[in-house]
Structure 1
């Protein structure tokens, strides 16, 4: 799709809609009658976002009720932002980008000028108009303020070293432009964790030294025991973490519970901008309730009917128990497809500090041998009832970039071939236990580090260890906290780790290929290369393998290319990853159990459970879910 077509597509979200004749939301009737809240017609934008129920297989619902779900820790209340999926531009169920908060968006043919049109009459949750000032405040007073953002604006607002040129065209129109195309901009705006390039200026200005009397601001900082005004401002903002119950929002439900708590209540936003085809203001459900529980207890609680909608923390191993509980409970268990490239993958750290291990891990024959010595069929049968699929860590068949060989290369279980490759490398000497020796005489013992969050990873490693031993490789498992593991990988201490596969298994030519190219420190197969890119060479190491250098060249071609050029770059990137097996996929297509109360409507029978793109339930519009009671 060319850029002109994208511009037309995004304009298609505009619907002229007269909402003045429709009845009030029952939840707000008393507040409206008391004069505490304006009637619905005055709360909605002139042109609200009308959700297309025909396209999205919905039915007109009824107002009312609470929806309960369970989280494993209080910090996961941020899932309200994920599930609510309120974005300037967002994906629909078919993963097509459409305006959401924005009324429309113009993109020029060159893809370097983006004009954002705000809905007139759209208001923050406290009734204050949402305007271009909220974008200006973010750009000028937050990300270009050295005390709030010492490193400057986020990376997606740059093209190479060129920051965006930001302009306010009028009260409801802003523009971002660069001299070169910026293919990251729209994708970032539609992301599961959005960048929030707008902020409630009217609220945050009271904590900004540019707008508040210095003595008054110092007094607040001192009273709170904070370091300075910038810490105070950041503390009062946090649009994703939801720690401030007073901060105005554009989300469908508003946080009303302060931490600490084991029960968080989110109340419907009276100024929310979406309506159904009949003009009813969304959301249908009045309150979202997040109960916090020990993760180990969540399947049992769900099986005891303590959640209305649940996927988080559940896995396929819980399916049999939950299915058995259906008969005398008020829920059904559905199996959704997943968007991960693999359910789990091994990540050899090609930038580890140990020179002997670094040389060995960078030998593609060694990575192929490790893969060939894994019995994925056994993992599937023992752990996933045969319902999963042995796979590499790559794009899914539903991706337009998919090739069958991406999924199947070097994944057959062949110990004879694995042993032959290890011999070919020169690892022919073994100790008395049959374990091969490294060139420096150490036994070939691989410590695989886990984040301790998924017990199934440990179970997979146990099965892998049995077969690797037959190839002369000893495997040890080391459980760590997520941040500890990441820091060890970043510093080069980690030799190998296990984690989920790529997030975006549904990639298109327009998707950013960052999970297959060494541009992110978080990519556990090459963290130092990613760190080098993200810090402009100030930290980490420059890629020094020919394949990695080619990937970086292709990444540049993707950034600068037209639609055909981007697809060509993507395809070659995937070819290189398949040939080199930089990460070793184990198993994929593991269905995700989704438990849904039998009286909850508009939840798809079959969906894709994906972080990016998709926001788990987000693209299915939880604001349209309703109770049929």
Structure 2
């Protein structure tokens, strides 16, 4: 498995070192699957794009006088998307499945547009809604220029009026945004945004904020930094009388105006919301078949000047009881699907490729552990807390796990037995951390527990705690995790009694966030571009509760949770330095100290990592690569540029 994984990463790295990958339509030295300002594309290739094409259905609307010509719908400097295989063909319906609004990340990660974006492998920031930007030497001031001429899906121009509306009336409104996201803070204060002109604005921080751009690449999706003022102001008390707003709230069956506003600002819940996405919702999210139609004002083109997207519409079929994405794929009822597919489905999917007329792609995930087991350092039982805080206990549990056996039994041998650590090939990968206490050595595990003084046993052979009670732990988790029975066996073999408690996801998250779990289970993902979202390393990911109350203390500035101590407090101190250090080398040294603390303490116990993400793709569904990195931080599959997918006729 490692050979395949490393080969993919090496190919990506070689491409980066060479700086380019040539593509087959005469475009010159540019990368496939990337974004370029038209002006930059023309400089790089020497090719001028002076004529623009559009989908036949839009051309017909232009002919009928119902839509402006494509030249008037595109911005002055469109964004060029270089296709992975070839210039596409217009038309078709992309069929997918989903589980309803709880599965909203599926449609969002296909459509969402950020002010700036990560490139396809998360190694640098590239233009998107912002055509260009400047950063002050002290990383306190960022000046952005919007792509002039971008229009919302109803034809209204996107301007800095929409930026200021988002800033003044959404971000700074306490009812809509009770807590400003930490990535928009510096020195404990929110950033300040000023309008310069119709298309330029300035963002200023109290202290240096050198990670701001990469934070936008991860966090800045949806309507972040801009929102359609011309539409949303009708639901905001600053712009309409209270009596009228109350009528709207009552009509929708809600209690407060901010609930109404939030619903109206969600493109899945509100088909009327103007967007700048490649597709816009045209049906309520409650229907059996949710439909998204192409946005006639989308602002990206291919190298031939054709307005994107190629695909006319996307449908999301609501899965009914007993239905799964796998069964729909086998039946040939989906065209490209990744959500709802697990590695356990791999054999079944491969066996039915001819029947379903599809291929199965494998993208290496940016997941260092699938999953990690996390001992809650804030566990409420004081005796158990003292045991959990002793790194020897965590090391013993790690050594008791036969990772190779788990990989073969539950991952078809396609994963990599490893500690919960950053994936190989990514920045900050540490081979020592990957191997730390990851060997199967139950004898050594027993020795660690004995040295802790946990030598006495009860009548069933389980170890006793210092207070004389049986050393028993409860592992809570959500989802189908059959390997947990094997973990129970491993740990009971070294004298620790284990109870397994599967939970519905929302209940699991609630209990994890409140610090009520003893042991939780979640994946250590988001390894690609990890500086954009280091939550797993900080203990601030709700589902990954190795330090939930310490994480709350940190994210609330000490107003909630529990103040950390020792090495965990050092993590926050180093991260605070990372956030304000402009010198990249020094910043990376601080972050490496966080890695070293995790390597020493093993707060997250990994089983198997670097597991591929399966993607089922119809054979006529093209311009989608195999082997691209998959990670939440780079909004996969958005990093494959879905707007350039097409059906080959």
Map of 2:172 onto structure 1: 144
CA 1:519–1:160: 2 relative to 1, 3 Å: farther
Is 2:434 the counterpart of 1:407?
yes
State the number of aligned residues: 604
Going from structure 1 to structure 2, the CA distance change for 1:126 and 1:223 (only over 3 Å counts) comes to same
Whether the aligned pair in 2 keeps the contact of 1:603 and 1:625 (CA below 8 Å) is: yes
TM normalised by structure 2 equals 0.90
Distance 1:72 1:521, change over 3 A: closer
Aligned counterpart, 1:9: none
Residue 286 of structure 1 pairs with residue 312 of structure 2: yes
Asked if 1:245 is matched to 2:280, the reply is: no
For residues 97-496 of structure 1, the aligned pairs below 5 Å read 97-151=125-179, 153-191=180-218, 194=221, 196-239=224-267, 242-294=268-320, 297-451=324-478, 453=479, 455=480, 457=481, 459-496=482-519
Contact 1:319 1:593 in 2 (8 A): yes
CA distance 1:518–1:441, change in 2 (3 Å)? same
Q: Give the match for residue 526 of structure 2.
A: 504
- Structure 2 residue matching 1:446: 3-state secondary structure: strand
CA distance in 2, matches of 1:15, 1:348: 51
Given that 2:89 and 2:646 are in contact with CA atoms closer than 8 Å, whether structure 1 keeps it comes out as: yes
Aligned partner of 2:64 in structure 1 is 34
Deviation at 1:224, TM superposition (A): 2.8
Q: Distance in 2 between matches of 1:382 and 1:185?
A: 42
Task: For 1:335 and 1:14, locate their aligned partners in 2 and report how far apart those are by CA, in whole Å.
Answer: 30
Asked whether the 8 Å contact 1:521–1:534 carries over to 2, the reply is no
User: What is the aligned partner in structure 1 of residue 596 from structure 2?
Assistant: 575
1:7-86 equivalences in 2 (<5 Å): 13-16=36-39, 21-53=51-83, 57-86=84-113
Task: Go from structure 1 to structure 2 and tell me whether the alpha carbon gap of 1:520 and 1:538 turns closer, same or farther (over 3 Å shift).
Answer: farther
Per-residue deviation, 1:520: 5.2
C-alpha displacement of 1:193:
6.6
Q: CA offsets, 1:173-207, max 9 Å, x none?
A: 01101232113422232116726121100001111
Report which stretch shifted further, 323-332 or 407-416.
323-332
**3-state SS of 1:515 partner:** helix
1:628 and 2:648 are equivalent in the alignment: yes
- For residues 593 and 568 of structure 1, do their structure 2 counterparts lie closer, same or farther at Cα, with a shift above 3 Å needed? same
Please tell me whether the aligned partners of residues 13 and 104 of structure 1 are also in contact (alpha carbons under 8 angstroms). Answer: no
8 Å CA contact 1:72–1:313 kept in 2: the answer is no
Shift of the 193–221 alpha-carbon distance from structure 1 to 2, 3 Å rule, reads same
| TM-aligned CA deviation for residue 113 of structure 1 | 1.0
Deviation of the 1:535 alpha carbon: 1.6
Check if 1:552 corresponds to 2:572: yes
- Secondary structure of 1:190's match? helix
Structure 2: give runs of 5+ residues left out of the alignment: 1-34, 43-47
CA distance in 2, matches of 1:623, 1:256: 18
Aligned equivalents of 1:393, 1:218: Cα separation in 2:
51
- SS of the residue 1:24 aligns to: coil
In structure 1, the residue matched to 2:27 is none
Aligned to 1:524, the other structure's residue is in SS state coil
What is the distance in 1 between the residues matched to 2:253 and 2:323? 37
**Equivalents in 2 of 1:147, 1:384: separation in Å?**
46
Asked if the contact 2:99/2:318 (under 8 Å) is kept, the reply is yes
Distance 2:101 2:496 in 1: 41
- Say whether the 8 Å CA contact 1:65–1:287 is kept in structure 2: yes
Aligned CA RMSD, in angstroms, stands at 1.9
Check the 8 A contact 1:82/1:193 in 2, yes or no.
no
Scaled by the length of structure 1, the TM-score of the pair is: 0.92
Equivalence for 1:90: 117
Contact preservation (8 Å) 1:192, 1:611: no
Among 531, 555, 564, which residue is 2:585 paired with? 564
Query: Structure 2 CA distance, aligned partners of 1:537 and 1:74?
Result: 33
